[in-house]
């Protein structure tokens, strides 16, 4: 029997071309690519479609802060998956209508149809489900979702410190993915946030919290990014003062050629002055150390040449969230500028 070519009619009798039907199946009828891989490919194709047809939604320039980058990413999600166009379709629904005839795997099509109904909200991280997934619960509907851990920028041991996250979920086969990612925050920040959202929702005309969160996603995201009250809470007693831990963290995390420099000694002296005058209270020395390193690298307060380094890069090193650094950076910079 001659080899079936990609553009030949599929021998299964579906009437479709072989490449759009059974080409990706093994001899036993199973698909040769995983469902997860196939959905990743469709998501990439959709983003390429958006870039081609709606370039105004995907600005190329880099933003000045990590918060601005996050806002742009979430605004894109809202624009393509949630907001309807004049034709009453979202951009994603428009894309799927053009592509779904060529999708042969039922599970793939089911997930892609589910993408028409993204879940935007605030979620509590509950407990790991598998090595790759964790259970989260929508704080308003109490519905539970099994999500891929890759979308939560925290290590498992830090879930207890930042147990709440804002994000948008898409169905990815039997589990869900956060797109573009989940943004974690502290429990006390969440409590303040929830009170404000509940009050605003009660004063709105929306009939469900799901509708309200989708419609006001960017507004809620901004509030979430800048509410970090827990980081300024009373410090915990660890057997040594938290301010000593800040200096130790800087010495450990920063490169030797920097920590041995006069500019670094100036940074530590300024931190000591700040402590004596301001007597700051904080719970996580990692956040303070990350803020100090970001200021040291990205400004000319202590060095002649500033580096191009984002909050995300520094936050990743110290295993904290970029948003948790913002308030601390602002307070430290205000003090350093006065000096």
* CATH code, 259: 1.10.472
Residues 303 and 215 in one domain: no
Q: Give the residue among 181, 185, 175 at the shortest CA–CA distance from 129.
A: 175
Residues 123 and 203 in one domain: yes
Distance CA 318, CA 284 (A): 10
Q: How many CB atoms lie within 10 A of CB 338?
A: 7
Residues of the domain holding 47:
33-113
**227 phi/psi in degrees, rounded to 5:** -105, 105
Single residue among 98, 113, 128 that ends a domain in this structure: 113
- Cβ(18)–Cβ(8) below 8 Å: yes
Residues 223 and 310 in one domain: no
Residue 292: what pLDDT? 94
Number of domains observed in the structure of the chain: 3
The answer to the question of residue 185 being in a domain is yes
Residues 250 and 329 in one domain: yes
Burial (CB count <10 Å: 0-12, 13-18, 19+), residue 36? middle
Residues 93 and 127 in one domain: no
Single residue among 113, 143, 161 that ends a domain in this structure: 113
Residues 282 and 217 in one domain: no
Residue 32: what pLDDT? 45
Q: Is 8 left (phi over 0), alpha (psi -120 to 50) or beta?
A: beta
Residue 243: what pLDDT? 52
The answer to the question of residue 240 being in a domain is no
Residue 172: what pLDDT? 93
Residues 253 and 213 in one domain: no
Single residue among 227, 259, 275 that ends a domain in this structure: 227
The answer to the question of residue 14 being in a domain is no
Residue 27: what pLDDT? 44
Q: Give the residue among 287, 296, 234, 235 at the shortest CA–CA distance from 264.
A: 296
**145 phi/psi in degrees, rounded to 5:** -140, 140
Residue 244: what pLDDT? 73
Distance CA 250, CA 253 (A): 5
The answer to the question of residue 70 being in a domain is yes
Residue 14: what pLDDT? 52
The answer to the question of residue 38 being in a domain is yes
Using N-to-C axis directions, what is the helix angle for 66-77 and 311-318, rounded to 10°? 100
Residue 6: what pLDDT? 62
Q: Give the residue among 281, 332, 287, 280 at the shortest CA–CA distance from 314.
A: 287
The answer to the question of residue 215 being in a domain is yes
- Cβ(167)–Cβ(178) below 8 Å: yes
The answer to the question of residue 27 being in a domain is no
Q: What is the mean pLDDT of the chain?
A: 83
Q: How many CB atoms lie within 10 A of CB 281?
A: 11
Residue 5: what pLDDT? 66
Q: Looking at the whole model, is its pTM more than 0.75?
A: no
Residues in the chain predicted with pLDDT less than 70, given as ranges, are 1-6, 8-33, 59-65, 227-243, 339
Residue 238: what pLDDT? 38
């Amino acid at each position: 029997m001659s080899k079936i070519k990609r553009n030949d009619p599929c021998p299964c009798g579906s009437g479709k071309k072989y490449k759009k039907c059974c080409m990706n199946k093994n001899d036993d009828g199973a698909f040769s690519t995983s469902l997860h891989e196939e959905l990743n490919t469709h998501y990439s194709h959709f983003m390429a479609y958006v870039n081609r047809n709606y370039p105004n939604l995907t600005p190329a320039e880099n933003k000045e802060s990590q918060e601005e980058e996050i806002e742009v990413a979430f605004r894109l999600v809202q624009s393509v998956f949630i907001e309807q166009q004049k034709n009453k379709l979202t951009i994603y629904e428009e894309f799927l209508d053009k592509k779904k005839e060529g999708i042969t795997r039922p599970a793939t099509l089911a997930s892609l149809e589910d993408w028409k109904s993204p879940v935007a909200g605030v979620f509590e991280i509950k407990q790991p489900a598998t090595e790759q997934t964790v259970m989260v619960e929508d704080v308003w509907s109490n519905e539970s979702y099994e999500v891929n851990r890759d979308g939560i920028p925290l290590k498992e041991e830090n879930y207890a410190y930042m147990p709440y996250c804002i994000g948008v979920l898409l169905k990815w086969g039997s589990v869900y993915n956060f797109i573009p990612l989940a943004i974690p925050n502290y429990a006390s920040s969440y409590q303040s946030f929830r009170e404000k959202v509940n009050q605003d929702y009660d004063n709105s005309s929306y009939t469900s919290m799901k509708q309200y969160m989708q419609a006001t996603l960017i507004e809620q995201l901004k509030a979430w990014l800048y509410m970090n009250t827990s980081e300024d809470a009373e410090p915990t007693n660890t057997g040594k003062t938290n301010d000593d831990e800040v200096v130790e963290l800087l010495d450990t995390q920063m490169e030797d050629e920097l920590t041995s420099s006069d500019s670094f000694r100036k940074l530590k002296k300024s931190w000591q002055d700040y402590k004596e005058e301001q007597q700051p209270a904080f719970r996580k020395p990692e956040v303070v150390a990350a803020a100090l390193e970001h200021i040291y690298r990205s400004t000319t307060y202590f060095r002649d040449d500033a580096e191009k380094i984002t909050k995300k890069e520094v936050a990743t090193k110290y295993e904290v969230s970029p948003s948790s650094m913002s308030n601390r950076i602002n307070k430290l910079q205000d003090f350093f500028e006065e000096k």
